[in-house]
Structure 1
């Protein structure tokens, strides 16, 4: 989980439209009044088309991608289309969260909270730093072995393998370009980026490559920006 920047409320959600959709939902709670392209598209953009909770890549064209209500609509029906209450989520996370009362028993909201203040990692699993982190991990089942831990391992293993290859490359320009590609893959737009960034920055090969490129003036502003971005989202070791 990484921090997300909420985009401005879409023009579609005027006060009048919010009231109209809220009334429609209250009359028939089976109506998915929030399932509109005008709402879904900016939500997906804000999360780089990833689940706001587990960071898996969302499929836009089927039910795998859902609009999630942070404060559950069953308990807080008046917030059913309140922009600040909506997140993009995968079916797995949305199902696990269910009707959990986030007002009275808070979990991490990546639009408002810094996940790394509440979560740490060891062995591709999440561990809590705070009570809210503990509740979030348990409620969303964020250590699901088959759906999350194994895919995280595969991607993080690729990070280590690519660093080894880059380290052994003698052409410094080639090193720079390959490192740029790897940093981009570990950035906010990449799948499971909180874990991939941790794998990157905890590997001594990365530090050595960075130092070598800096000494030979191949470390540029592009790399520096990606370095800072990935460092800011990387989970800390337990």
Structure 2
């Protein structure tokens, strides 16, 4: 889980239709109309924008998304808890089906970390043998409670996730070992770094964790800056949106 800034304003169509879509949702929740929570048009509008803002990954587990299937329009505050926020731009995030279903309609009281407005990285530490996330030992009790609650809500200790984190850790460590043994940056090392540092690469937290622990904090910071570069988001978005002021 890493910081994923929201680099654009709400789409104009969302602002124009928010009230109508919210009224429709309330009727669905009240059982007055048997329908999906959002119209097909709402999903067509929001899903690709959110997908690109997070470089095609779930903001919670960092797993890769398929914009046509696995990509969910995630509500930080559940639409069942507060339907008035269901189409609030700042409440919408890209998530995978597993994290979305795990989180469900629980009222987390803002204990869940919100990666578009805060940096989750300092909250976690990854066990190098199991791939499990744990609250960082430097946290105070309140921050540690938020880290634990985030792990619990999204089930971030899923075995498949832990395996993927260990796979990324192994790849990062191999690259760092080869880099330390090389007298200069070879073409192979350069190409591997280009892949690892691509914003679309999954499990960035693990990569940066490994870089920092192996004395390459500058490279970890370089990766953050590349990931958070809003110009990449603008180039990749296929819809007309305005940059955030």
Matched, 1:155 2:148: no
* Equivalent residue number for residue 83 of structure 2: 77
2:165 and 2:53 map into 1 onto residues whose CA distance is: 22
TM-score, L = length of structure 1: 0.78
Matched, 1:12 2:26: no
Shift of 1:132: 0.7
1:76 and 1:115 map into 2 onto residues whose CA distance is: 24
Unpaired stretches in structure 1, ≥5 consecutive residues: 208-223, 234-238
Matched, 1:134 2:148: yes
| Secondary structure of 2:10's aligned partner | coil
* Equivalent residue number for residue 132 of structure 2: 125
* 2:22/2:83 contact within 8 Å kept: yes
TM-score, L = length of structure 2: 0.76
* Equivalent residue number for residue 24 of structure 2: 24
Matched, 1:229 2:229: no
1:33 and 1:231 map into 2 onto residues whose CA distance is: 34
Matched, 1:178 2:189: yes
Shift of 1:105: 5.2
2:126 and 2:55 map into 1 onto residues whose CA distance is: 22
Q: Deviations over 1:31-56 (max 9, x none)?
A: 23265222111211111110010100
Matched, 1:96 2:102: yes
Aligned pair count? 209
Shift of 1:74: 0.9
TM-align CA RMSD: 2.5
| Secondary structure of 2:87's aligned partner | coil
* Equivalent residue number for residue 53 of structure 2: 46
Q: Deviations over 1:65-93 (max 9, x none)?
A: 10111111111111111111111001110
**Equivalent residue in structure 2 for 1:111, among 110, 113, 116:** 116
**Equivalent residue in structure 1 for 2:209, among 198, 221, 224:** 198
2:101 and 2:154 map into 1 onto residues whose CA distance is: 8
